Structure 1
């Protein structure tokens, strides 16, 4: 389910239950995430930052649930990347690592584990900060997002899966 709200956002928060869903093949993914974004319809440009958890064997080489981030400054065309795979997101925490696997997962009829994700624009530096469980992880420099200089018109929360069905 994707829930989108339109407004002038300078922060958005999501409480996500952390699961370890089964993925069958390397090209499958399962994710729970939030987006802060803006879109210019005339230029078909999208600026977006994403944060949440995902199981993505093609990206990480295993089936662990990991904290992930992603960004794009041009509608997922030429800019953007996952985690720290390009010089963009500045990680400031030595406690919480972007791309790290979660230690605990929720289970049916068992304990429930949550992670709180918050993306917030800093009024001083104008950078967009990521916090997990009220702990600063790092920031996306404001210079990455030409359409998000002041506020973000779109905040979205939801899940995403990719499953390729093949018949033998």
Structure 2
């Protein structure tokens, strides 16, 4: 199992596949202090008992001998919830020294805000995104608090900014200062005895808006906590099964510079990685 994607996978899954983008900033010179995106939320119908499928944004630091990750998004994960519903999730991990971290609030770490209106592990009710129809979206942001050094999680899709919670600075050795990489990623994981599930809408990114799953308004926050306006130099992230899943090009709208977006996903049906 690839350690760089294990944090959004079933713990002992054999195969982990992702499709999305990551950025280290212009020529790698930008240290990220946050990531944001608007993403479509889909019901995935073919997730087997030991598999999972979803999408997330994350901040990552790989300095030293380990990896430190903070992520949030949605997934279907029967092993975690004993159902096949769509759940909001948070995650953190630090592998420096003894590996620590967990989904949601299954261990000490994530602190829930008193004004939160979306909770780790909470279900997304109907309606969800409809193929060739109305799209259900979620806008979230992970941002380093420049005063406390904690990493905060916000929701932005109700025409207001709501603090959902935060990860204290003390959980991390290197993320306490900065993130090296930010990511916008769709993912699946599955057991060796199971057929891989669909990713996103279950349709390829070539079908584009309304049919393929997407991330929109993708941007990072710089050292001052402001939206980074320069070239993100994004690179495609771990598309190791293009026969099942893929990602479109990274689009930047001419009319609205901030609308950096891409499409991703696929129908699944893969066995183990080739």
TM-score, length-scaled by structure 2: 0.57
Equivalent in the alignment of 2:22: 4
User: Structure 1 residue aligned with 2:164, among 124, 137, 162?
Assistant: 137
Equivalent in the alignment of 2:150: 127
User: Structure 2 residue aligned with 1:82, among 93, 103, 108?
Assistant: 103
User: Aligned partners of 1:111 and 1:2: how far apart in 2?
Assistant: 23
Higher strand fraction: Structure 1 or Structure 2?
1
TM-score, length-scaled by structure 1: 0.91
Deviation at 1:18, TM superposition (A): 0.4
User: Aligned partners of 1:3 and 1:95: how far apart in 2?
Assistant: 28
Compare CA radii of gyration and give the structure with the larger one. Answer: 2
Equivalent in the alignment of 2:233: none
Deviation at 1:151, TM superposition (A): 1.6
Match of 2:79, SS? helix
Deviation at 1:94, TM superposition (A): 4.2
Whether the 8 Å contact between 2:52 and 2:75 is mirrored in structure 1 is: yes
User: Aligned partners of 1:148 and 1:162: how far apart in 2?
Assistant: 26
User: Aligned partners of 2:192 and 2:35: how far apart in 1?
Assistant: 35
User: Structure 2 residue aligned with 1:72, among 93, 113, 134?
Assistant: 93
Match of 1:72, SS? strand
Question: Comparing both chains, which one has the higher relative contact order based on Cα–Cα distances under 8 Å and sequence gaps of 6 or more?
Answer: 1
Q: Is residue 2:154 matched to residue 1:154?
A: no
Q: Aligned runs of 1:52-131 on 2, under 5 Å?
A: 52-74=73-95, 78-92=99-113, 93-103=115-125, 104-131=127-154
Whether the 8 Å contact between 1:23 and 1:29 is mirrored in structure 2 is: no
The gaps in structure 1 that reach 5 residues or longer are: none
The gaps in structure 2 that reach 5 residues or longer are: 1-18, 25-29, 195-274
User: Aligned partners of 2:32 and 2:153: how far apart in 1?
Assistant: 14
Whether the 8 Å contact between 2:116 and 2:163 is mirrored in structure 1 is: no
Whether the 8 Å contact between 1:18 and 1:105 is mirrored in structure 2 is: yes
Deviation at 1:135, TM superposition (A): 1.4
Match of 1:58, SS? helix
User: Aligned partners of 1:130 and 1:51: how far apart in 2?
Assistant: 8
Whether the 8 Å contact between 1:23 and 1:30 is mirrored in structure 2 is: no
User: Aligned partners of 1:63 and 1:142: how far apart in 2?
Assistant: 33
